Amino acid sequence: MNEVIPLLECRDISKTFVSGTFKKRYNLALDKTSLTIAEFPPAITAIAGESGSGKTTLARVLLGLLPPTEGQVIYKGQDIAKMSRSEFRDFRREVQVIFQDPFESYNPFYKVDHVLETPIRKYGLAKNKKEAKELIIDALETVGLRPSETLGRYPHQLSGGQRQRIMVARAVMLRPKIIVADEPVSMVDASLRATILETLRTLNDEFGISILYITHDLTTAYQVAENIIVLYKGTIAEAGDVEKVINSPTHPYTRLLVDSIPQPDPDLQWGSDSSVSRLTGGMSGHGCVFYDRCPIREDRCDETPPSLYQPDKYRVTRCYAYEESGTFDSPKLTDAFIPASEIAPIQG
């Protein structure tokens, strides 16, 4: 088995948000999570969850935009909180981001060229203006855009899809090791989503960039990623091979999510079973986070939270129902991930 060299990892990360001056309220957005992203082979991993799941918090912590309350984020073996200025600069360059909102990602004061010229200047990617121009044109063409139709324009003169593709071009141009894409297509038209997602796949295949795909849409997560982590209220509910997790979910929450997907096929209707409403009775807060909505809950689920169990070689789930499969002991979640070598190539 290949020893996966961790490139970016977080160890026992948790994030609590505090609000209020006198009467403080604590919100545990992310609970004791550990995650590894390898340099080789470059993989696409999806982090899926609804609002309040902690997925955006996790992304921001991994990107170094948010300091964790506990735990460390390690890049190339170094704690990012302790890096020198130049080391952090390298980190910033090699771990890139694509944000969700194609409008807010641009400063309306500048033309879209600004967002492409700035990194070239700051990271010294070109020796002169001519080289810089070539770099930009190349990046734009990689994502399927025509420079003549995009350069020289202001953000409001382009469509959301074009703006988002320019953002992808920007990320590619820097030849990062990892791209964290936070809901990159949720604000883009359906007909363009496929194009952008296919581009992400290309970045992974041809440029060897690892991608962390954050989303609430299980369908696109399924299409794009090899492995998936399902988050619920700051904890990992289920993780592993995307085929397994999506098409034969074990955790009751994953089941609920998958059942709620509106399949674009009139013959695949939602079940009429609406046991999706909150069940009566509250929960102690000391046990499983899904207790109050779980159709298969037992008393002990409310007392202590379950550990991660491993019902399949490439899947872990945090539910007592699978206790007999044995606990997942490794500190590296990726040990339960299906390696790229074992995935069938894509048809079509």
Identify which range of 20-28, 87-95, 126-134, 330-338 contacts other proteins by CB under 8 A: 87-95
C-beta of residue 27 within 8 angstroms of C-beta of residue 16 = yes
- In the complex, minimum distance from the CB of residue 324 to other proteins, in angstroms, rounded to a whole number: 28
Span from 5-13, 89-97, 130-138, 282-290 in contact with other proteins (CB under 8 A)? 89-97
Secondary structure class of 261 (helix, strand, coil):
coil
Closest residue by Cα to residue 204 from 230, 183, 178, 169:
178
Kindly tell me which residue out of 39, 113, 217, 335 binds other proteins, with binding defined by CB under 8 A. Answer: 217
Q: How far apart are CA 37 and CA 142, in angstroms?
A: 25
Task: Out of 19, 22, 341, 346, name the contact with other proteins by CB under 8 A.
Answer: 346
- 76 vs 216 by CB, closer to other proteins: 216
Cβ–Cβ under 8 Å, residues 95 and 178: yes
Q: Which tokens hold the place of 248?
A: 């034969």
Instruction: Pick the piece of the chain touching other proteins (CB under 8 A) from 4-12, 38-46, 255-263, 331-339.
Output: 255-263
Sign of CA dihedral 61, 67, 70, 73: positive
Among 118, 248, 275, 330, binds other proteins (CB under 8 A): 118
Nearest distance in Å: CB 118, other proteins:
4
Q: Is 251 in the site for other proteins (CB under 8 A)?
A: no
> For residue 96, which amino acid is it?
Q
Note whether 158 binds other proteins by CB under 8 A.
Answer: yes
Q: Binding to other proteins by residue 65, rule CB under 8 A?
A: yes
**Strands ordered across the beta sheet of 6-19:** 25-38, 6-19, 70-75, 78-79
Tell which positions 266-285 bind other proteins, by CB under 8 A. Answer: 266-270, 272, 274, 276-277
The least distance separating other proteins from the CB of residue 74, rounded to whole angstroms, comes to: 19
The residue with tokens 């409310």 is: 302
Closest to 230 measured CA to CA, from 71, 242, 283: 242
Residue from the set 1, 156, 324, 341 that interacts with other proteins by CB under 8 A: 156
- 23-62 footprint of other proteins as x/- string (CB under 8 A): ---------------------------xx-----------
Q: Which of 152, 208, 285, 295 binds other proteins (CB under 8 A)?
A: 152
The reply on whether position 223 binds other proteins by CB under 8 A is yes
Query: Near other proteins by CB under 8 A, which window of 3-11, 20-28, 261-269, 311-319?
Result: 261-269
Is residue 179 within 8 Å of 209, Cβ to Cβ?
yes
Q: How far is CA 266 from the centre of its chain?
A: 30
Helix, strand or coil, per DSSP, at residue 83 = coil
| Interacting residue with other proteins among 2, 27, 248, 260 (CB under 8 A) | 260
Q: Of 161 and 287, which has the nearer Cβ to other proteins? A: 161
Report the distance separating Cα 48 and Cα 240, nearest Å.
12
Residue 13 β-bridge partners: 33
